[in-house]
Amino acid sequence: MRLHSYTLIAITLGFFACQPQRTDLAQTIIDQAIAIQGGPVIDQATIDFDFRGRHYRAIRDGGTFQYERIFTVDSSGALVRDVLTNEGLTRYINGEVVRLPSKDSAAYSSSVNSVIYYALLPYFLNDPAVQKTYLDSVSIHNQPYHKIKVTFAQTGGGKDYEDEYVYWIHRKNYTMDYLAYNYHTDGGGARFREAYQPRIIAGIRFTDFHNYEPIDQSLDVELFDRMYQQDSMKLLSEIVTENIEVVN
């Protein structure tokens, strides 16, 4: 059935009127989730942890940060320390600065930042390039969740600005219990993560994650909560953060 022009105009106006409301609602929920996580503590903290055999440190002072990754090279016994700041990455081997090709510097920067980023989510969801939209109110395993989509502006969004994320924030306690994302590098793919083993350390909430991928290789992260409950996900790994220490 063809819609009259005035009907189309009304629908269009209604759609655009809803968009700011959905953005504002998403912002309010994310603000609450970060507060529950301990965001004000993270703002001025030094956080140490181990992940997959390497040691990481995040030092934050408002907008200033220093992220470190420290590990020993098995073949040589050399001690490597990668230091990422607002100014860029510096690599030290046995205490000496090593000059890196730009390609390696970019790769190491991305690797260090990625581990810190996921370990401290949802803390980073108020970064300037983050674009939030409220999708729906849903249920996962009989628990109520806000479902929020995150995309990134090209300016300030990094080389992976086209990736899409969805976060499921518990409607009563505002914890981030699930997240999903897709990516387009290296042939592309998508992941769904289920938080487990929550613990509070010095006022900051940390969790580990079960890491899944969709059996059908779908990239449509908005459907992943449904697919997860239909057992259409395959468990790939566990994301475990160990030996956490926080100094305020």
Digitized pLDDT (tens) for each residue of the chain, 248 residues in all: 333 444 444 444 444 445 667 889 999 999 999 999 999 999 999 999 999 999 999 999 988 999 999 999 988 899 999 999 999 999 999 999 999 999 999 999 999 999 999 999 999 999 999 999 999 999 999 999 999 999 999 877 666 678 999 999 999 999 999 999 999 877 889 999 999 999 999 999 999 999 999 999 999 999 999 999 999 999 999 999 999 999 98
pLDDT of residue 6: 44
| SS3 labels along the chain | CCCCHHHHHHHHHHHHHHHHHHHHHHHHHHHHHHHHHCHHHHCCCEEEEEECCEEEEEEEECCEEEEEEEEECCCCCCEEEEEEECCEEEEEECCEEECCCHHHHHHHHHHHHHHHHHHCCCHHHHCCCEEEEEEEEEEECCEEEEEEEEEECCCCCCCCCCCEEEEEEECCCCCEEEEEEEECHHHCEEEEEEEEEEEEECCEEEEEEEEEEECCCCCCHHHHHHHHHCCCEEEEEEECCEEEEEEC
Residue 8 is predicted with a pLDDT of: 41
In sequence order, which residues have a C-beta less than 8 Å from that of residue 116 and are 6 or more positions away?
Answer: 56, 58, 67
pLDDT of residue 168: 98
Token output for 22: 């959905």
Give the Cα separation of 82 and 91 in Å (integer). 5
Q: What is the pLDDT of residue 214?
A: 97
pLDDT of residue 156: 75
Residue-level pLDDT at 187:
80
pLDDT at res. 3: 39
Measured distance CA(229)–CA(171) in Å, rounded: 18
- Put simply, whether the predicted model's pTM sits higher than 0.85 gets the answer yes
CB 208 within 8 A of CB 167: no
